[in-house]
A = this chain, B = another copy of it.
Amino acid sequence: METSHTGDELARILATLANPHRMRVIAALAHGRNYVSALARELGISRPLLQLHLAKLEAAGLVTAAFELSADGKAMKYYDTVPFTVTLTPQSIAQAARTLTTVEGDN
Binding site for B on A (CB under 8 A): 7, 10-15, 17-20, 23-24, 26-27, 29-31, 43-45, 81-91, 93-94, 96-98, 100, 102, 104-107
One complex includes copies of this chain to the number of: 2
Query: Which 4 residue pairs spanning A and B have beta carbons closest together?
Result: A14-B18, A27-B94, A15-B18, A27-B97
**Across the interface, which residues of B come within 8 angstroms of A106, CB to CB?**
44
Query: Which residue of the partner chain B has the closest CB to A100?
Result: B20
In the complex where A17-B14, A27-B93 touch, is A104 in contact with B7 (Cβ < 8 A)?
A: no
**How far apart are A90's CB and chain B's nearest CB, in angstroms?**
5
In the complex where A23-B11, A105-B44, A107-B44 touch, is A89 in contact with B93 (Cβ < 8 A)?
A: no
In contact, A11 and B15 (Cβ under 8 angstroms): no
**How far apart are A41's CB and chain B's nearest CB, in angstroms?**
12
In contact, B89 and A84 (Cβ under 8 angstroms): yes
In contact, A88 and B88 (Cβ under 8 angstroms): yes
In contact, A20 and B44 (Cβ under 8 angstroms): no
